[in-house]
A and B are shown apart, each in its own frame.
Chain A
Amino acid sequence: MTDAADLRTRVADLLAAHPPATTGRAEFLRARFDAGLAWVHYPQALGGLGAPRSLQAVVDAELAAAGAPDNDPRRIGIGLGMAAPTLLQYGSDEVRSRFLPPLWVGDEVWCQLFSEPGAGSDLAALGTRAVRDGDDWIVNGQKVWTSSAHVARWAILIARTDPDLPKHRGITYFVCDMTDPGVEVRPLRQITGEAEFNEVFLTDVRIPDAHRLGAVGEGWKVAQTTLMNERVSIGGSRIPREGGMIGPVSRTWRERPELRTHDLHQRLLTLWVEAEVARLAGERLRQQLVAGQPGPEGSAMKLAFARLNQEISGLEVELLGEEGLLYDDWTLRRPELVDFTGREAGYRYLRSKGNSIEGGTTEVLLNIVAERVLGLPAEPRNDKDIAWKDLAR
């Protein structure tokens, strides 16, 4: 049985054999994968040791303390957080060995072809079609809100393979090659002026059946694995006090007394308290994970930070007064990452509007909390037994 002490020994061995100071980043990351310290709960030879998932925090903390390079988990977040657990659970041995190492090291970026113009929160209503053609599938349709599509090598994709079944059935899950000639990625410009997301048009995209994950028609079940992992996003990082959006506005308050009003003071203090409490709740969740007591609190954190980011950034624009009327830059840009602190208040205000929509809207997540955490009954559904092709759209 692998325990924390054993993992510390393995980390020490890795660091001794590949000193971070003299080892290239990619080389170190490959060695870490081979040592089973990438994600300790994965099987041996797939970057893990079959250890309890909670012990990952021990490894991450030891490696961070030693100054080891990390794999830029934000840049490859979709691959790490969503594709990898799905590949692990549903991929064949060949698929897992082919995709997991470059995914973890960051050599290959992944994106997620789920949402469509007509299927957002009601994701199971999706209409992208996949039709069997010998050993391949031919895919046609349009996806949207696709982060990283312009830099991705691979995508996880769900498509409808049987329109005569009710919407949750007749969906199949694939790995899509983003270099296929039928894949067209177009920037989708947002309210910030940037194009962080994309529209993806799929025209006669050919996917080998070997790149199907799970059984034909069982794609919704497979997608649940992906989506559950998307929401367990909070990890081992510690946020210092004023580490989030409350930081810039608090600093402005301290440095610019001429901007202060009594009304803003009251609101700032209320938000400061809420930000500090959210920070403490995040820290408590982190401690629960380290102690092997995962709880449903993770879904609370996304909801809390979405609302706080929006309220704090709104207050910040207002505090800036005349300067709040200005914006830093409307140039169309294609950032790989959201960088809240690298931009100014107006950008934070506009971008944070997405926090309550992306990764599940606040409304949908509240339903999930109500039903799965509190055990409240589901609302009646009227689309369960109707064939997808007969649904109103």
Chain B
Amino acid sequence: MTDLLYTEDESDLRAAVRSLLTARADPAALTGGRAESGSPVDGALWQALATEVGAAGLLVPEKRGGQGASHREAAVVLEELGRGCVPAPFLTSSVVATAALLALGDEADAAAALLGDLAAGRRTAVLAVPLSTAPDGPLPAAGRVTGVADAAGADVLLVLRGDGLYAVDRADAGVEPQTALDLTRPLAAVTVSEGTGTLLAGRADGEAAVRRGLLTGAGLLASEQLGIAEWCLEETVRHTRERHQFNRPVGSFQALKHRMAQLWLEVVSARAAARAAADALATGSGEAALLAAVAQAYCSRVAVHAAEECVQLHGGIGMTWEHPAHLYLKRAKADEIAYGTPGRHKERLAGLVGLDAP
């Protein structure tokens, strides 16, 4: 049966990540301009996460240079990164690209070398597909691909072409940054010429690997969304307890209390959904696709709802650039589209559980 709780090791990992982020991830620096810079990732912070905490190699077996942990641990890291709205290529490189490379198996030498580098935090890689691609969605044809997350900062792009999956050095590709809604997960258009890069796998294996990466991304994104929702709720509760209007803390008004209590119910439910998806991926359960779709259909909405409530219940403060609420709203709304919208995931579910359309 699915284990929906957190193990002691997972709680220790959470504490390590949180303490690192508390000490070194400064939201003020983000709102103060780094988010707008086009390269919001704090390289030193990412190195610390990747190497000191070992986050980059969590999904990679020890014999291939990683930590030999599982999707459950990666999910805990994503909860904390979501809670801090941290710009870091963990989801795109350490989860999605890594899961795709792992799906290629042990035989592919080029993939193995790259995987070792990713696990050690020496390089980062991203799938050259739009961030919006659902696990069962159409994959881009060769040429120019837009909306590729974390591409500008990545060392390697994993490109699916007609004849296979290639690893392409970013220096050999055209990468044009796009202005993204989410200031903390930069997007770029990527152009790769035919004949560039190293062949990792043929078309069929390559496509299966990409889909595995996307499914892993969708399933674990729910944990990032949970972290976003948790921060938004906690911050809103804190603010409404302190903010006085009409000679009372605004958090004592029932109209506001009910909205925050409702959000708490959603967060509790989102945690169960996110844990179920992470556990199914970790155990290689046959229900991974179903539970990832359930988690995405549900948690996407919860994160957006929490961020919208956070902005609204902060009043005018919530509309300002100085307050980080907008970073969370932008991340939550972008995450709703990332790896498939709730509607896409519900369509997928309809097929999986036999509730066909008219």
Contacts and interface: CB of A to CB of B under 8 A. Distances in A.
The answer on A and B forming one complex is: yes
A265 B357 contact: yes
A297 B294 CA distance: 20
B248 A370 contact: no
A357 interface: no
Interface in A282-305: 283-284, 287-288, 291, 293, 297, 300, 303-304
Contacts of A373: 261, 264
Interface string B323-354: 00000000000000000000000110110011
Nearest to A293: B5
B273 A277 contact: yes
A121 interface: no
Interface in A23-59: none
A254 interface: yes
A276 B265 contact: no
B5 A376 contact: no
A272 B353 contact: yes
A287 B353 CA distance: 25
A253 B276 CA distance: 26
B264 A300 contact: yes
B6 to A, nearest CB: 10
Nearest to B297: A273
B240 A277 contact: no
Contacts of A266: 346
Given A269-B346, A371-B257, A277 B353 contact: no
B315 interface: no
A219 B257 CA distance: 29
A376 B3 contact: no
A331 interface: no
A261 B252 CA distance: 44
A283 B4 contact: yes
Nearest to B270: A277
Interface string B4-41: 11000000000000000000000000000000000000
Band of interface residues on A: 35 or more
A288 B271 CA distance: 13
A277 B269 contact: yes
B356 to A, nearest CB: 8
B241 A375 contact: yes
Contacts of A280: 2, 4, 269, 272-273, 275-276, 294
Given A265-B357, A375-B237, A284 B349 contact: no
B298 interface: yes
Contacts of A293: 5
B269 A260 contact: no
A86 to B, nearest CB: 27
Interface in B178-199: none
Contacts of B346: 266, 269-270, 273
Contacts of A288: 5
Given A273-B298, A287-B4, A374 B264 contact: yes
A321 interface: no
Q: Is the interface of A mostly helix, strand, loop or mixed?
A: helix
A304 B297 contact: no
Contact of A277 (B249, B251, B254, B298): B298
Contact of A272 (B249, B269, B270, B349): B349
Contact of A300 (B268, B349, B358): B268
Nearest to B354: A254
B272 A283 contact: yes
Interface string A366-387: 1101110111111110000000
Interface string A148-159: 000000000000
A164 interface: no
A342 interface: no
A98 interface: no
Q: Is the interface of B mostly helix, strand, loop or mixed?
A: helix
A284 B358 contact: no
Contacts of B3: 287
Contacts, number: 130
A253 to B, nearest CB: 6
A370 B271 contact: no
Contacts of B294: 273, 276-277, 280
A13 interface: no
Interface string B291-302: 000100110000
B269 A300 contact: yes
Given A366-B262, A369-B264, A370-B260, A265 B358 contact: yes
B349 A369 contact: no
B144 interface: no
B254 A379 contact: yes
Interface in A335-388: 363, 366-367, 369-371, 373-380
A377 B358 contact: no
A288 B270 CA distance: 16
Contacts of B353: 250, 272
B355 interface: yes
A278 B186 CA distance: 34
A230 interface: no
Nearest to B271: A284
Contact of B269 (A269, A270, A281, A367): A281
Contacts of B241: 375-377
A273 B240 CA distance: 31
A260 B346 CA distance: 16
B268 A297 contact: yes
Contacts of B354: 254
Interface in A170-191: none
B258 interface: yes
Contact of A369 (B5, B240, B261, B275): B261
A291 B268 CA distance: 18
Contacts of B260: 370, 374, 376
Interface string B230-273: 00010001001100000011011110111011101100111111
Given A370-B257, A376-B252, 7 more contacts: A277-B270, A278-B269, A284-B272, A297-B268, A374-B261, A376-B237, A380-B252
28 contacts: A250-B353, A250-B355, A254-B354, A254-B356, A257-B358, A265-B350, A265-B357, A273-B294, A273-B298, A273-B349, A276-B294, A277-B294, A280-B269, A280-B272, A280-B276, A280-B294, A281-B273, A288-B5, A369-B261, A369-B264, A370-B251, A370-B260, A373-B264, A374-B261, A376-B237, A377-B249, A377-B252, A379-B252
| Minimum-distance CB pairs A-B, first 7 | A370-B257, A260-B358, A284-B4, A377-B252, A281-B272, A369-B261, A280-B272
